[in-house]
Amino acid sequence: MEFVNKKYCIQEIPVEQLALDYGSPLYVYDGEKIKHQYQRLKEAFREVDVHIKYACKALSNINILKLLKAEGAELDCVSIEEVELGLYAGFTPTQILFTPNCVSFEEIKNAVALGVKINIDNISILEQFGHEYGNKIPCCIRINPHIMAGGNKNISTGHIDSKFGISIYQLRHVVRVAKTNNIHINGLHMHTGSDIYDAEVFLQGAELLFDAAKDFKDLEFLDFGSGFKVAYKEDDITTDIEDLGRKISKRFNEFCEEYGRPLQLWFEPGKFIVSESGYLLVSASVIKQTTATVFVGVNSGQNHLIRPMFYDAYHTIVNVSNPAGTTRVYTVVGYICETDTLGWDRKLNEVREGDVLAIKNAGAYGYSMSSNYNSRLRPAEVLIENGVARLIRKRETFDDIIRNMVE
Ligand SMILES: Cc1ncc(COP(=O)(O)O)c(C=O)c1O
């Protein structure tokens, strides 16, 4: 979003106009930003055979999937429904990695039947996989490296108390199970957490994976997961992707020499690709002065963007209707029937009832984590590509609320 000719614009389209044209609340995505982020990542790792599997849990609108497919991305899916969506969007089965957690073996079998690549994160499922398929279907192993990293405990996945992956200390057991069941392990994977800016954490994880890889002779790829941090506030520290690309690529190429043949390097970013592309546009329904603060009550809430309440996440908020207004301090709250704060103590240009506010960084884990809590309708979604805005999901109606209720 840029400030051009006294207006906030996305690809030269005034943001306030989007809210007028499509109504609010509204999710808007800047398609050019998504392409830019994908290409930046590709470029940073140009020295290796990098495969970028977009973690579609972040934002799964089929138009976003198609856009990324056209750029050359592949897909990371965590549920059979995401796999089906990816195939529906046109990804080939071999472009899709299925990385479920704590699912039944039935779901794994369904994914195998669809032909996608399988990532296994516990020994019980690995044994069942071996009994069912022997060496006919290869699989990848998700390792828990026991590294504590990530912006919030709910998005830290690689520590010792986490439910994800097979402990790095259980690898001897994995090797035994694989050997006795003749399982073809073609990849090793780890994902430490989200919002990691320190290149050293990634390098530390990479060394653990390199070390583990020595026990597996038939590998085709190593998957380093994701966790790249983007800016939520101005001057936020972020992952220096270009620096990380240089460091990891150099070390990866050295490792491939040690391993004896070239391997593919996989990543599965969500937030890095789509977070900054997205805005949630909301309207100020009421300005409410209390003894302690001035609340802006908006026509949205944690049912549409849960990150502030769930992860204590900071999302910058901008009043796009009154950019020249005097700044005042507000707390921006939603309409949900419990504490529902989108931003505490924010300096905003004076907010008047009816003004449109843009909530930034709403591309990742915004719409995809939204719900109908309080029987509220989910917003519409708009994608802007090549300077043209188009509706990519209709606003819900009351019919969507009652559709599956049986009277
Ligand atoms: C296994 C796995 N891969 C990739 C991701 C995407 O992470 P991010 O959105 O931080 O890039 C996640 C996020 O939860 C994950 O659990």
**All structural domains of the chain:** 2-29+275-402 (2.40.37.10), 31-273 (3.20.20.10)
CA of 129 to the centre of ligand 1 (A): 24
Is the CB of residue 363 below 6 angstroms from any atom belonging to ligand 1?
no
Whether 275 is in the pocket of ligand 1, judged by its Cβ within 6 Å, is no
Q: Per residue in 110-164, pLDDT tens?
A: 999 999 999 999 999 999 999 999 999 999 999 998 875 555 565 556 667 778 8
Determine the average pLDDT of the residues in 15-32. 98
Atom of ligand 1 nearest to the CA of 268: 4
User: Is the CB of residue 226 below 6 angstroms from any atom belonging to ligand 1?
Assistant: yes
- In this prediction, residue 363 carries a pLDDT of 98
The alpha carbon of 110 and the centre of ligand 1 are apart by a number of angstroms equal to 22
Which atom of ligand 1 is closest in space to residue 155's alpha carbon?
A: 14
Give distance in angstroms: CA of 156 to centre of ligand 1: 10
Q: Given this model, what pLDDT does residue 199 score?
A: 80
CB 271 near ligand 1, within 6 Å: yes
| Nearest ligand 1 atom to alpha carbon 195 | 10
Tens digits of per-residue pLDDT, 235-264? 898 889 999 999 999 999 999 999 999 999
**What spacing in Å lies between the alpha carbon of 30 and ligand 1's midpoint?**
21
**Region 182-210 average pLDDT:** 88
The pLDDT confidence band at residue 210, using thresholds 50, 70 and 90, is very high
Q: Which of 315, 275, 314 is nearest to 36 (CA)?
A: 275
- Catalytic residue annotation: 337
Distance CA 327, CA 206 (A): 46
| Residue, of 197 and 305, whose pLDDT is higher | 305
Output the pLDDT for position 155: 54
Please give, one letter per residue, the 3-state secondary structure of the chain: CEEECCEEEECCEEHHHHHHHHCCCEEEEEHHHHHHHHHHHHHHCCCCCEEEEEECCCCCCHHHHHHHHHHCCEEEECCHHHHHHHHHCCCCHHHEEECCCCCCHHHHHHHHHHCCEEEECCHHHHHHHHHHHCCCCCEEEEEECCCCCCCCHHHECCCCCCCCCEEHHHHHHHHHHHHHCCCCEEEEECCCECCECCHHHHHHHHHHHHHHHCCCCCCCEEECCCCECCCCCCCCCCCCHHHHHHHHHHHHHHHHHHHCCCCEEEECCCHHHHHHHEEEEEEEEEEEECCCCEEEEECCCCCCCCHHHHHCCCCCEEECCCCCCCEEEEEEECCCCCCCEEEEEEEEECCCCCCEEEECCCCCCCHHHCCCHHHCCCCEEEEEECCEEEEEECCCCHHHHHCCCCC
| Span from the CA of 184 to the centroid of ligand 1 (angstroms) | 25
Convert the pLDDT of each residue in 344-360 to its tens digit.
Answer: 999 999 999 999 999 99
Pocket lining: 150 vs ligand 1, CB cutoff 6 Å = no
> pLDDT tens for residues 256-305?
999 999 999 999 999 999 999 999 999 999 999 999 999 999 999 999 99
Instruction: Name which residue sits closest to atom 16 of ligand 1, judged by CA.
Output: 191
User: Is 90 exceeded by the pLDDT of residue 174?
Assistant: yes
Using CA atoms, how far apart are residues 112 and 115, in angstroms rounded to an integer?
5
